[in-house]
Amino acid sequence: MGGYVTETIRREPVAQTLEENYMPYVMSVILSRAIPEIDGLKPAHRKLLYTMYKMGLLKGNKTKSANVVGQTMRLNPHGDGPIYATMVRMSRGNESLLYPYIDSKGNFGKVYSRDMQYAASRYTEVKLEEFCELLFADVDKGTVEFVPNYDGTDYEPLLLPVKVPTILINPNRGIAVGMASNIASFHLEDVINATVALLKSSKANLQNIIKGPDFPTGGYCVEDPQVMEQVIEKGTGTFRLRAKAQIIPKENRIEITEIPYGTTVEAIMDRIIAGVKEGSYKEISDVRDESDLKGLRLTIDAKRGTDLELLLAKLYRDTPMEDTFSCNFNVLINAYPKQLGIRHLLLHWLDFRMDCVRGRLRYDINLDEKKLHLIRGLEQLLLDIDRVIALIRATPKEKDVVPSLMREFLLDEEQAEYVANIRLRNINKEFITSRVSERQALEDKIASNKLLYGSDKRIKKYIEEELKEILKKYRKPRKTVLIEPIEELIEEEEEMTTESQILLLTRENYLKKIPQSQYDPNQEQRLKDGDDVRYELEVNEWGDLLIFTTAHRVFKLRVADIESVRHTELGLFLPHELEMEDGEETVLALATNDYSGYVLFAFERGKVAKIPLSSYATKTNRRMLVRAYDDSQQLVRALALDKEAPLLFSRYERQKENWLLIDSSLIPEKTTRHSQGVNVMRIGKTGRLTDMEPASSSANLEKFRSKTIPSAGKVRRPFE
C-alpha cells in the first residue's frame, strides 16, 4: 500500500470565512430562536400554541402532551425534548408565567425548584387556557401574514394578533449570539393603563402608572424611581428583589413562602447550609424544604435567644433570598433586533395592533360586500320566482343554467352561480325575502367598518375599549409587592463597633483578630515554636480579609465573622477553617474596607499583572474565588497597593543583578483577574525576575528609574 495524500489549503480572509459560514447561524439564532417578537413569543412558543389551536384545544378537552408534541413537529423539527420543555414553561402547573398559555394536568415541575422535575409527556395532559382567546382572535381573518412551514406542507402565522401586550405581561429570557434578551413581567392593569395613556399621547408620563415589575413567583421588589425611568425609556435597569418571609416568634422560626424570580429553593438552602458549616449562621439549628401541593415553604429553625429580625437581615444579605433582575429589552421589530424601553415597546405594539384591526376590518368589508352583491342578485328574482324555476327546468343542459340566468335576469356570473346552487326547497318567497331583508344590516355594517377603517382616531378608540374589556375580565391581584427602599446596612452592621481591628497572620497560617484598643505591639503574642507574624493589618469590623494562595485561589473572610482572641491564644488555624489543600501556602494577605487600590502579581519572565481590588468584590458572600491570578506563569511576588507608588524590580541574569525603578502608574490595569499582565522588565533566556517591592524615595535609586516599560534596568554594583 502506497501513494500520496494531497491536501488542499484554501486561503481566504477570516472576515469572509465568518461571513459565509458563521453569519447564517448567527442570524438564524437571533431571528428564529432566541429573541421574542412584538407578540411576546419566540418562534418555538408560537409554533406550539398555533398547533394546539389547530387541534381544537382552545375549546375542546385536554389531550396527551405527547400528542401535541408530535403534531408540533410539523412546524418545528427541533425534536420532542425541546418542544416539550417549551410546553412545560408555558403551563399553569410550572408557574413560570403570570398568565399561563397552557392549562395542564399532571406534574409539570416548578420554576422555583431545581429538583422538582416534570413528568414525561406521555403522563401529562394539556389544552389551551381561556386567555389564549386573546392570542388567536381573528387569526384567520387577514390580521397577520402566513408563511409555509419548513417543508412547504403547511402554513403558519409569522405573528399572532394578540389583543393585549403579552410582551410585557409575561417574563421572557433568551440568549442569542452576541446579544441576549431579558424582559421583566408587569402587572396587567399597569400595562393596559400605560397602553391607553400612550393611545392619547406618546409622551404620557408612564412612571405614575408603572412603578415596578410583577413576577410569577411573587416576593417583594424595592421601588426605585430612577431604575424604573431607565426601564421605561431605555429597556435596561436592575430591579432588586426579595423573598417573602414571615417571622414566627413563638416557634422561633422563619418561614419563606415566596422567592425572587430566577432563583430556586435549593439555591437558597445550599447557601444557608454552607453558611452554617462555615460558622456564619450559628443561630440556625435546622433548615427544611416543606414545599407541597399547597405551594412553596422553606422553614428555618433558630436556636433559643436568637434575634430573628437580625438573622433574617443576614439571610437577605448573604443568600439568594435577595436577588436582582437585570432588564435587557431586546425585541425583534420587523425582523430587526432592537433594544426598546417600555414606552417604545408599547408604541410599536400599538402600531402592530392597529395593523391587525385594519386587516380584520378589510377582511370583514370584503366578505360583507360579497354577501351584499349576492343579495342584490336575489332581489332580481323576488318578483318572479316561478319564472326562475321554469327557466331552470327548461334548460336542457346543466352548463347552460348559469348563462341562462345571467341573460334572463341581468345577473353577473357570481350572482347566477349562487342562485343556481340554492336548494330547490329554498327557492321560495320566504327564503328569498329573508335573505333580501339582510341587505340594510349589511350596508350599515359595511359603512360602519369603512368609517372605522379610514380613521386612526376611531381605531385607537376601538383598541382602548377592547383593552378595558380585557382588563375587566382578566384583572387579578399583583403578586410581587412593591416596598420602600431598604437601608443598606443591616442591624448587625449598625451595631458593629467603629473601632478598628488588628489582624495578625503568621507564617504557619494562624490568624488573630484583636480590637485596636486591646492591642499592644510590644506585648508578646503566643505563637507556635518557630512561627512568627508575617502580616499585621488594620481594618474596620465590616471589612474583608483576602488571602491569596499558591493554588491560584483567593479566600475571603468577613472581619465581623472572625472571633476576637486574646494575645495568649494561638488564634484561628486557616488551613482547617478554609479547607485549604495540602501544601497550599499564602502568597499575599490584605485587608480592605472598600476594595479600593490594586493587587500586583510579578511573574518570573518579567510580566506584571495589575488588577483592581474591586475585581475581587462580589455581590454575594462568596468565600472562595478560583483563578485569582494567572496560573500559566511562575509567580515571584504579590503586592497590594492602596495608591500608585514607586516599585523596584530586580533581575538576575548571567551572574549579574539588574534593578529597575518605575512608577506603578506605568503598568496598565487589567480587569480580568487571571490576566497574564504586561512586560515590565526585559528578561533574557537565562534570566529571571527575582523580586518586586515598594521603593522608598531615595536619591541612590533614581539612577535605576525608567519612564517607559518594558525596560532592562541597570546593573546594580556592589555596595549599592
Q: How confident is the model at residue 551 (pLDDT cuts 50, 70, 90)?
A: very high
Kindly report, residue by residue over 280-295, the tens digit of the pLDDT.
Answer: 888 899 999 988 878 8
Question: How distant, in Å, are the alpha carbons of 22, 213, 260, 320, 489 from that of 324?
Answer: 34, 12, 8, 9, 18
Tell me the mean pLDDT in the region 18-22. 72
Q: Measured on CA atoms in the order 684, 689, 694, 698, is the torsion positive or negative?
A: negative
- Write down the architecture of domain 244-320 according to CATH: 2-Layer Sandwich (3.30)
Name residue 336's amino acid.
Answer: Y
Tell me the mean pLDDT in the region 99-118. 92
Q: Give the whole-angstrom CA distance, residue 607 versus residue 204.
A: 57
Give residue 703's pLDDT. Answer: 84
Q: How confident is the model at residue 10 (pLDDT cuts 50, 70, 90)?
A: confident
- Which residue's entry shows cell 439555591? 267
Q: How confident is the model at residue 697 (pLDDT cuts 50, 70, 90)?
A: low
Q: Give the whole-angstrom CA distance, residue 35 versus residue 180.
A: 7
Give residue 382's pLDDT. Answer: 66
How many Cα atoms are found within 13 Å in the side-chain-facing hemisphere of 123? 7
Give residue 188's pLDDT. Answer: 97
Tell me the CA end-to-end span of the chain in Å, nearest whole number.
72
Give residue 494's pLDDT. Answer: 45
Q: Give the whole-angstrom CA distance, residue 162 versus residue 139.
A: 9
Kindly report, residue by residue over 37-96, the tens digit of the pLDDT.
Answer: 999 999 999 999 999 999 999 998 999 999 999 999 999 988 899 999 999 999 999 999
Instruction: Give the H or E element holding residue 603.
Output: strand 598-603
Give residue 255's pLDDT. Answer: 95
From 41, 35, 67, 58, select the one nearest 156 (Cα to Cα).
41
Kindly report, residue by residue over 147-182, the tens digit of the pLDDT.
Answer: 999 999 999 999 999 999 999 999 998 887 777 899
Q: How confident is the model at residue 489 (pLDDT cuts 50, 70, 90)?
A: very low
pLDDT at 121 over 90: yes
CATH (residue range 355-474): 1.10.268.10
Give residue 521's pLDDT. Answer: 85
Kindly report, residue by residue over 568-619, the tens digit of the pLDDT.
Answer: 888 899 998 888 888 899 999 999 988 889 999 999 999 999 999 988 987 6
β-pair partners for 288: 299
Residue 67 burial by Cβ neighbours in a 10 Å radius (0-12, 13-18, 19+): middle
pLDDT at 530 over 90: no
Let me know if 363 is a catalytic residue: no
Q: How confident is the model at residue 424 (pLDDT cuts 50, 70, 90)?
A: low
Give residue 68's pLDDT. Answer: 97
Lowest mean pLDDT among 4-8, 114-118, 340-344, 357-361: 4-8
Residue 643 burial by Cβ neighbours in a 10 Å radius (0-12, 13-18, 19+): exposed
CATH (residue range 35-162): 3.90.199.10
**Percent of the chain scored above 70 by pLDDT?**
93
Q: How confident is the model at residue 492 (pLDDT cuts 50, 70, 90)?
A: very low
Residue 282: all three cell numbers together: 450559628
pLDDT at 411 over 90: no
Lowest mean pLDDT among 170-174, 262-266, 311-315, 621-625: 621-625
From 230, 202, 426, select the one nearest 328 (Cα to Cα).
230
From 44, 173, 71, select the one nearest 126 (Cα to Cα).
71
Residue 666: all three cell numbers together: 506605568
Count of other CB atoms within 10 angstroms of residue 642 = 11
Q: How confident is the model at residue 491 (pLDDT cuts 50, 70, 90)?
A: very low
Give residue 25's pLDDT. Answer: 66
For residue 299, the 8-state DSSP code is E
Give residue 621's pLDDT. Answer: 65
Give residue 438's pLDDT. Answer: 81
491-715 CATH, one of 2.40.30.10, 3.90.550.10, 2.120.10.90, 3.40.50.150: 2.120.10.90
Question: How distant, in Å, are the alpha carbons of 557, 580, 587, 590, 664 from that of 548?
Answer: 12, 11, 6, 9, 21
pLDDT at 26 over 70: no
**Percent of the chain scored above 90 by pLDDT?**
58
Lowest mean pLDDT among 206-215, 235-244, 655-664: 655-664
- Which residue's entry shows cell 537565562? 686
Q: Give the whole-angstrom CA distance, residue 226 versus residue 240.
A: 13
- Choosing from 25, 123, 150, 155, the catalytic residue is 123
Any residues with CB less than 8 A from the CB of 28 and at least 6 apart, and which?
Answer: none
Which pTM was predicted? 0.67
Measured in whole angstroms, how far is the alpha carbon of residue 664 from the centre of its chain? 39
Give residue 681's pLDDT. Answer: 92
- Which residue's entry shows cell 437580625? 310
- Which residue's entry shows cell 417578537? 37
Phi, psi of 205 (to 5 degrees): -80, 100
Tell me the mean pLDDT in the region 391-399. 84
Tell me the mean pLDDT in the region 647-671. 90
Cis peptide before 710 (omega within 30 of 0): yes
Kindly report, residue by residue over 464-473, the tens digit of the pLDDT.
Answer: 999 999 999 9
Kindly report, residue by residue over 235-267, the tens digit of the pLDDT.
Answer: 999 999 999 999 999 899 999 999 999 999 999
Q: Give the whole-angstrom CA distance, residue 679 versus residue 582.
A: 32
Residue 254 burial by Cβ neighbours in a 10 Å radius (0-12, 13-18, 19+): buried
Count of other CB atoms within 10 angstroms of residue 4 = 4
What 3-state DSSP class applies to 690?
Answer: strand
Give residue 619's pLDDT. Answer: 61
Give residue 192's pLDDT. Answer: 98
Residue 546: all three cell numbers together: 483576602
Q: How confident is the model at residue 487 (pLDDT cuts 50, 70, 90)?
A: low
Tell me the mean pLDDT in the region 653-662. 88
Pairing of strands 220-222, 481-483: parallel
Domain layout of the chain by residue ranges: 35-162, 244-320, 355-474, 491-715
Give the mean pLDDT of the chain.
89
Give residue 718's pLDDT. Answer: 65
Tell me the mean pLDDT in the region 374-388. 77
